[in-house]
Chain A
Amino acid sequence: MSAAAITAHAPSHPHGEATGIWSWITTVDHKRIGIMYFLTSFFFFFVGGLEALLIRIQLMRPENAFISAETYSQMFTMHGTTMVFLVAMPMAVAFFNYLVPLQIGARDVAFPRLNALSFWVFLFGGLYLNSSFLFGAAPNTSWVGYANLTSLQFTPGRNVEFWIIGLSILGASSILGGVNFITTIINLRAPGMKLMRMPLFTWMTLVTSFLLITALPVIAVALILLGFDRFFGANFFEVTAGGDPILWQHLFWLFGHPEVYILILPAFGIISDVIPTFSKKPLFGYPVVVYAGILIGFIGWGVWSHHMFTVGLGPIADSFFVASTMIIAIPTGIKIFNWLATMWGGSLRFPTPMLFAVGLVAVFTVGGLSGVMHASAPVDLQQHDSYFVVAHFHYVLVGGAMMGLFSGIYFWFPKVTGRMMNETIGKWHFWTTLVGFNLTFFPMHFAGLFGMPRRTWTYLEALNLETWNQLSTVGAFIFGASSLLLMWNLFHSVRKGEKASPNPWGAGTLEWALPSPPRHYNFAALPRVRSREPLWDEEERKEVEAVTMAEPDREPLMPSPSFWPVVLAFGLALTWILLMTHIWWMPLLGLAVTAVAVFGWAFQPAFR
């Protein structure tokens, strides 16, 4: 990379950023990419939500046939796959993208074009996965896709192929994103921004990024093994040849458990920035919260077989995973107490971001505690694969991750758009979410306790599960309605919201020392940072804002837009997709596009 090579060509847009759809397609600006990630994942949130509502309608009555059993399998598979890979992960990445450079005092991420690539690969992967519906062959073997159900023998057809290829494409996006954020956070911090001065959200981004680059390769291999079995007759999960379907479970959960920390740590990071702001106190025990996050990341690698207590691994293995899983509860508990201690003695205000943050703490505790029950292997023998565990993970993922992301949306919307979100709608959104969410998922504890397995299309009337299911269905519609409130609030506020000052919440971290929205280069000159909350010390605030708010005499040269990322994303996606033709030379066409894009990219200077 030849860095400061300002060429003979004048920059095409010397002041501000270009507009128009081509400028968005070729953008390498982390803020625009963040917005695109957000809008895309928000769209998929409603897709996944629709799938959930269809499930809930089907389960409203025993022995119902609102949709067929086959369609139902596709619904719960796609609901899970969509919510995990196309909503929760990319929405967190939207936040990583927009905020991390601003929080650490950088002009962009380390690899802006790679950043764009990650987005386009994600978009193509998500669209491809959902295109399976057009063929009536949406994935249908659950979001965990256990072998040997997924083998050609037991699930012939395209469904599993779509799943393998879709997830492979998405995994690449995540790994590249992880590499980008690790490099950004390690290498592009403003002077004085020591690691232990970074906002907690950036810290959790760093831990999550390490989890991304280590966990995603494991599922990539698992998908390769399954793909080779299906496409090329390999024997990885073929029992007659000595292949073991349980290997799939080990590999999947070696990925899967770090994955759930990938899903929750960003939300923990968000509320670790939100709660201090609305308590007017710094985060209690900042280093401990950081170390707890790192510890969770590490220990998270050692607990995977707590998803496999019913598999028959033997008492010694079971006992080991009981111990490791219980141990990981401790750093999680520590964080909860640190948040509470932050609020203790503070001066609490409750605008919508704080409502969601506090809501997360209350609700996640429930989910965490049902998790403690699952951690006891004998108890889990009853709870595993029942609605009890469905309750557990929705409490931690919706009540935890989603509420954290909602908190972040309300918190940082003013920074991104320069307008405030509507507080009244926000409060309605919060309360209907809380009611709808609890009404949906709390009864599931009982359904599970009373013997309702998960992934079931229907249940017998005699089992007396109808009332619990009806409550859940009603709650689901309330929750759906509350999400419409959010959509309304976003679209309304973007156009008509009250104008926002640079720091409407009185927060302490660096991003609030910039105009709302920030200029396209973020920081004309990088400020020097002297503490964790630079804006909470009067002197330091003045010093920082003198740099960050000043009009520069000339704008810094920023990386130029490029169309190679979208072309390369297309080439990569095409390569995988053409595998579905089962014609050996077709993927080579995709590889050709990929190669052209790689060379085009490599020989295009970043700054033009």
Chain B
Amino acid sequence: MLKRAGAMRHAKLMPWAKGLGTLFLMAFLSSCGQDYLQSTINPVTDYGEAIHKLYVQIFWWTMLILAVVWALMAYILIRFREKPGQERPKPVHGHVGLEIAWTLVPALIVVAIVIPTIRTIFEIQRPPEGDVLVVEVTGKRYWWSFHFPELGVTTANELHLPVGRPVSLRLESGDVIHSFWVPQLGGKRDVNPVVSVPEGREPKRNWMHITIREKGVFWGQCAEFCGEAHSLMGIRVVAQDEEEFQDWVETWRTPAPTANAPADAEPASPGTPAASADPARPDTGEVGEVREGGIAHAAIDAYEEDPLVARGREVFFRESYCVLCHAIEGTQAAGIIGPNLTRFGSRLTLGAGMLPNTDENLIAWIADPRGVKPGAQMPGAQYTVTYEGQTFPPLNLNDEQIRALAAYLSSMR
């Protein structure tokens, strides 16, 4: 008697357990108001919205099916539990009508899901028309390079984009497979190494087409396991209105006042504006005369510079080998192995989205990149790094040099 009661109790508990679970679900869903910086259900682009719309549709279909199945189960578990003295139930071997029904209905639901799905697939993969801004995204272990071919701008980890304009991201890896995922922009796309092809054929690359609808800073990270620091390969997308974006471009093109030592100002190459002559406005480049072939020197006159910054510049160019990997536009640093450091001071984060870009963090980073980001490929004070077939010896910088370097980099906003 007790045993049967126990069995009944267990059967009865099941529907309650499921009911509770559903309540749980609803409670969780209501927490959607929280600030989820990498939320997939808060899109800001046409691409993201097309995906989200489809997701919501399918979500409700699945909830319907779940409700039906669970409701049926709950009913069955209560209604048909064994009763004392009950006769053995009549064997029922099947029912053609039912079998057809529960094949056909799911099939119809499948069709209802597949049609908008395929439509959306083609919609989001269609290249946009009009004035498209192309960005060449290169994923490397463990950072991102962003190059704007039409603008001649190269930056790293922080991608500035204009709102309202179609943008096409061309994705390519410099080593293993990565995946570019900024959830608020939309779904992810793998970043594959470019496979060499015989002459006459086009190598294949992935594209992501987006038009951003609102300003903001959007967080993302690599989504294909790529090694030790995979979880630390972040992305920041800074969506700005067209004017702000153009300002950002111009600023990038203009060497920061502290980028070069006054006497060592890098000859401006033809077509680029001269360095700003106005120390009062270090962030904006003044478009100077366009030269044709001749050499122009930045006219920086009596400009009071922080001696630590000057010291840092000294360390950067002469006391270490930073220029082997890094580039700063308008200076002699033209390394392409590591992130481009032009206007580094204005970046929100360092280490590919890992830490806020503060002096303290920057010092810690330069002193010991792997202490901050295990697996980082930047040589540290104590260890060598082999990257892309080359071996880089320890940086061997002391505290004073590191502080100076940090000051130098921060000064270039």
CB–CB under 8 A between A and B in the complex?
yes
Interface assignment of A6: CB less than 8 Å from any CB of chain B:
no
CA distance A284 to B222 in the complex (A): 48
Task: Point out the residues of chain A lying under 8 angstroms from B69, CB to CB.
Answer: 336, 340, 362, 365
Q: Interface of chain A, helix or strand or loop or mixed?
A: helix
Interface assignment of A429: CB less than 8 Å from any CB of chain B:
no
Whether A361 and B73, one on each chain, are in contact in the complex, defined by CB atoms closer than 8 angstroms, is yes
Give B111's nearest chain A residue, CB to CB. Answer: A326
Interface assignment of A462: CB less than 8 Å from any CB of chain B:
yes
CA distance A361 to B77 in the complex (A): 12
Binary contact track B269-284/A, C-beta < 8 Å → 1, others 0: 0000000000000000
Whether A322 and B118, one on each chain, are in contact in the complex, defined by CB atoms closer than 8 angstroms, is yes
A149-B225, A310-B187, A343-B80 known; A379 and B58 CB under 8 Å?
Answer: yes
Count B interface residues, CB 8 Å: 105
Whether B89 and A280, one on each chain, are in contact in the complex, defined by CB atoms closer than 8 angstroms, is yes
Task: Point out the residues of chain A lying under 8 angstroms from B89, CB to CB.
Answer: 279-281, 345-347
Task: Point out the residues of chain A lying under 8 angstroms from B324, CB to CB.
Answer: none
Whether B181 and A453, one on each chain, are in contact in the complex, defined by CB atoms closer than 8 angstroms, is yes
Whether A378 and B190, one on each chain, are in contact in the complex, defined by CB atoms closer than 8 angstroms, is no
Give A144's nearest chain B residue, CB to CB. Answer: B225
CA distance A69 to B54 in the complex (A): 36
Cβ contact of A239, chosen from B70, B93, B195, cutoff 8 A: B195
Give A142's nearest chain B residue, CB to CB. Answer: B225
Whether B76 and A244, one on each chain, are in contact in the complex, defined by CB atoms closer than 8 angstroms, is no
Least CB distance, B18 to chain A, in whole angstroms: 7
Whether A312 and B190, one on each chain, are in contact in the complex, defined by CB atoms closer than 8 angstroms, is yes
Q: Interface of chain B, helix or strand or loop or mixed?
A: mixed
Cβ contact of B121, chosen from A73, A322, A336, A455, cutoff 8 A: A322
Whether A385 and B179, one on each chain, are in contact in the complex, defined by CB atoms closer than 8 angstroms, is yes
Task: Point out the residues of chain A lying under 8 angstroms from B197, CB to CB.
Answer: 242
Whether B190 and A311, one on each chain, are in contact in the complex, defined by CB atoms closer than 8 angstroms, is yes
Binary contact track A317-351/B, C-beta < 8 Å → 1, others 0: 01100110011011001101100110111111111
Whether B72 and A340, one on each chain, are in contact in the complex, defined by CB atoms closer than 8 angstroms, is yes
Task: Point out the residues of chain B lying under 8 angstroms from A326, CB to CB.
Answer: 110, 113-114
CA distance A533 to B83 in the complex (A): 23
Cβ contact of B80, chosen from A315, A348, A380, A464, cutoff 8 A: A348
Interface assignment of B125: CB less than 8 Å from any CB of chain A:
yes
Interface assignment of B383: CB less than 8 Å from any CB of chain A:
no
Whether A146 and B177, one on each chain, are in contact in the complex, defined by CB atoms closer than 8 angstroms, is yes
A282-B91, A376-B113, A464-B36 known; A69 and B73 CB under 8 Å?
Answer: no
Whether A148 and B177, one on each chain, are in contact in the complex, defined by CB atoms closer than 8 angstroms, is yes
Count A interface residues, CB 8 Å: 101
CA distance A456 to B192 in the complex (A): 19
List residues 175-228 of chain B with CB under 8 A from any CB of chain A: 175-177, 179, 181, 183, 186-190, 192-198, 204, 206, 219-228
Interface assignment of A446: CB less than 8 Å from any CB of chain B:
yes
Could you say which of A10-18, A366-374, A548-556, A584-592 contacts chain B? A366-374
CA distance A141 to B228 in the complex (A): 10
Give B370's nearest chain A residue, CB to CB. Answer: A69
Task: Point out the residues of chain B lying under 8 angstroms from A377, CB to CB.
Answer: 117, 121
Cβ contact of B88, chosen from A142, A241, A280, cutoff 8 A: A280
Interface assignment of B55: CB less than 8 Å from any CB of chain A:
yes
Cβ contact of A381, chosen from B88, B189, B230, cutoff 8 A: B189
Whether B230 and A438, one on each chain, are in contact in the complex, defined by CB atoms closer than 8 angstroms, is no
Whether A451 and B76, one on each chain, are in contact in the complex, defined by CB atoms closer than 8 angstroms, is no
CA distance A155 to B102 in the complex (A): 49
Whether A312 and B206, one on each chain, are in contact in the complex, defined by CB atoms closer than 8 angstroms, is yes
Give A446's nearest chain B residue, CB to CB. Answer: B28
Whether A345 and B106, one on each chain, are in contact in the complex, defined by CB atoms closer than 8 angstroms, is no
Whether B117 and A376, one on each chain, are in contact in the complex, defined by CB atoms closer than 8 angstroms, is yes
Whether A334 and B196, one on each chain, are in contact in the complex, defined by CB atoms closer than 8 angstroms, is no
Interface assignment of A240: CB less than 8 Å from any CB of chain B:
yes
Least CB distance, B236 to chain A, in whole angstroms: 12
Binary contact track B380-409/A, C-beta < 8 Å → 1, others 0: 000000000000000000000000000000
Interface assignment of A449: CB less than 8 Å from any CB of chain B:
yes
Could you say which of B7-15, B247-255, B286-294 contacts chain A? B7-15
Whether B219 and A463, one on each chain, are in contact in the complex, defined by CB atoms closer than 8 angstroms, is yes
CA distance A378 to B220 in the complex (A): 18
Whether B231 and A69, one on each chain, are in contact in the complex, defined by CB atoms closer than 8 angstroms, is yes
CA distance A336 to B92 in the complex (A): 17
Whether B102 and A333, one on each chain, are in contact in the complex, defined by CB atoms closer than 8 angstroms, is yes
Could you say which of B38-46, B149-157, B160-168 contacts chain A? B38-46
Task: Point out the residues of chain A lying under 8 angstroms from B198, CB to CB.
Answer: 242
Whether A355 and B110, one on each chain, are in contact in the complex, defined by CB atoms closer than 8 angstroms, is no
Cβ contact of A453, chosen from B28, B125, B223, B227, cutoff 8 A: B223
Interface assignment of A413: CB less than 8 Å from any CB of chain B:
no
CA distance A69 to B225 in the complex (A): 12
In the complex, the 6 A-B pairs of residues with the closest C-beta atoms, listed nearest first: A381-B187, A451-B38, A456-B231, A312-B206, A369-B62, A455-B225
| Contacts A241-B196, A373-B62 supplied; 12 other A-B pairs, CB < 8 Å | A148-B176, A154-B227, A286-B93, A329-B106, A334-B106, A343-B77, A376-B113, A384-B187, A385-B179, A431-B13, A451-B37, A463-B38
Q: What are 8 A-B interface contacts by the 8 Å CB criterion?
A: A70-B375, A149-B227, A239-B195, A244-B195, A279-B89, A343-B76, A457-B232, A463-B38
